[in-house]
Structure 1
Amino acid sequence: MLISEIFHSPQGEGKWIGVPSIFIRTSGCNLRCWFCDTPYTSWNPEGEKMSVDQILEHITQYDCEHVVVTGGEPMLSHEIESLTQRLHADGKIITIETAGTILSDVHADLMSISPKLSNSIPVKDPAWAHRHDARRDQPTVIHELIKRHPYQIKFVVDQREDIAEIEDYLIRYPEIDRAHVYLMPQGITAEMLAERMPWIEEVAAQLGCQVTRRMHIELWGNVRGK
């Protein structure tokens, strides 16, 4: 697997916000969100080739039960199946953070899906804009992921205009329990997040969804290893 970084930090978003976790960040992505906060795993992927054995050995330095496999898009790697099965055998509680475009036979105690809305399309890069738009919504994958695993859905909200698209998405997937849906602001600084959060909280209440902070950005900014 191409691994960008492995680190220990509190989970910054969603259901298990604040929970101490080991993050295994894979490098490589099939999408190109213009606002990607980890471009070193997407636009300019970099990392170190590591076997599953090497990854498991590396994380033994952390006395921690929760493991988050993130990216990039971790479901791109076929080795994620072996990695998650062995993490599970070791008693780890596993979150997989994915855009929900690829299906794989993994073990996940929480499948954290962040569907990419049209607000993510990199319009300034026409070639990638076309590929990204064609790949970002995969209904069969979404249906299977939420059927197979405990899940949460996290929408990145940039502008008020995004809300109509979120409402349409939830109508198209009626099996999604809105209690498991989180709206979170787009932003790479605490100031950007704070600017959007008040109206996002209002909208979430109207939709019957939840909101999530992005605690890691609030505390440390958009830095690696947090």
Structure 2
Amino acid sequence: MFVAEVFASLQGEGILAGTPSFFIRTSGCNLRCRWCDTPYTSWQPEGRRVSVAELVAAARASGLRHVVITGGEPLLQRELPALCAALKAQGHHITVETAGTLAPEFACDLLSVSPKTANSDPEGVWRARHRRLRENLAPLRLLLQRHPNFQLKFVVQGEQDMPEIVALVDRLGVSGERVLLMPEGKTAQEVAQVAPEVARLCLRFGFRFSPRLHLELFGAGRGV
């Protein structure tokens, strides 16, 4: 697999926020979100080839039950099914984080999908491709059918994002308790500026609030 970094930290987002976890961050992405907080896995992908056996051994050595496979876009990695199977055989709880634009078959305990909305659209040559990929819901529908234990996390800048989010949730037929709104920001300070409004939107629309604990606790940077 093409991997940018592996590290132990607390899960910062979603329904498992605060859970000690071993992270495998793959490198490479088929989207180009303009606010991407890990550009070293998307806009300028960095990393090295790491075997499934090495990753499984590193997860075991961490002593942590929870493993989070993130990116980048992990679903681009052809070794993902083998990695998930090996981690599961070792007794790990597996979260796979994805934008939901691809639908290979793999096994996990929690599918964490971050569907991208218009606030992610980049400028320039990537704009049309990025938009075309994020607007195709067929892979996402298939993923949700295969993985009944899922969460949807949306990056929110403000109330202007809500009509698109509500429409998408309705099209997918997903209950509000599975939907989390997450303040956009690359630093704890930026997140803090948006968080109160996002909290109010959660109350208004009946969605859950997702913190970004890693930024609050450890700051922006790699390996957190």
Structure 1 range deviating more: 69-78 or 55-64: 55-64
Once the two structures are superposed, what CA deviation does each residue of 1:142-185 show, in whole Å capped at 9, x if it has no partner? 112112111000000013211111111112112x1210100000
Q: How far apart in 1 are the matches of 2:164 and 2:104?
A: 27
Residue equivalent to 1:56:
56
Residue equivalent to 1:2:
2
Q: How far apart in 1 are the matches of 2:103 and 2:49?
A: 22
Q: Which amino acid aligns with 2:155?
A: V
Partner SS state of residue 154, structure 1: strand
Number of aligned residues: 223
Q: How far apart in 2 are the matches of 1:219 and 1:137?
A: 34
Q: Which amino acid aligns with 1:105?
A: E
Identity of aligned residues (%): 44
Partner SS state of residue 135, structure 2: coil
Residue equivalent to 1:117:
117
Residue equivalent to 2:137:
139
Q: How far apart in 2 are the matches of 1:153 and 1:85?
A: 23
**Residue 201 of structure 2: which of 197, 203, 206 is its match?**
203
Residue equivalent to 1:155:
154
Q: Which runs of 5+ in 1 are unaligned?
A: none
Contact 1:115 1:137 in 2 (8 A): no
Deviation at 1:37, TM superposition (A): 0.3
Residue equivalent to 1:165:
164
TM-score w.r.t. length of structure 2: 0.97
Q: How far apart in 1 are the matches of 2:181 and 2:22?
A: 24
Residue equivalent to 1:130:
128
Q: Which amino acid aligns with 1:216?
A: H
Partner SS state of residue 107, structure 1: coil
Residue equivalent to 2:186:
188
Structure 1 range deviating more: 155-164 or 41-50: 155-164
Q: How far apart in 2 are the matches of 1:145 and 1:11?
A: 22
Partner SS state of residue 104, structure 2: coil
TM-score w.r.t. length of structure 1: 0.96
Q: How far apart in 2 are the matches of 1:172 and 1:64?
A: 37
Once the two structures are superposed, what CA deviation does each residue of 1:124-157 show, in whole Å capped at 9, x if it has no partner? xx21111111111331211121121110000000
- Superposed CA RMSD in Å reads 0.9
Partner SS state of residue 141, structure 1: helix
Once the two structures are superposed, what CA deviation does each residue of 1:11-68 show, in whole Å capped at 9, x if it has no partner? 0001100000000000000000010000000000010101111211222321100000
Q: How far apart in 1 are the matches of 2:31 and 2:180?
A: 21
Partner SS state of residue 136, structure 1: helix
Q: Which amino acid aligns with 1:144?
A: L
Q: How far apart in 2 are the matches of 1:71 and 1:45?
A: 10
Q: Which amino acid aligns with 2:109?
A: D
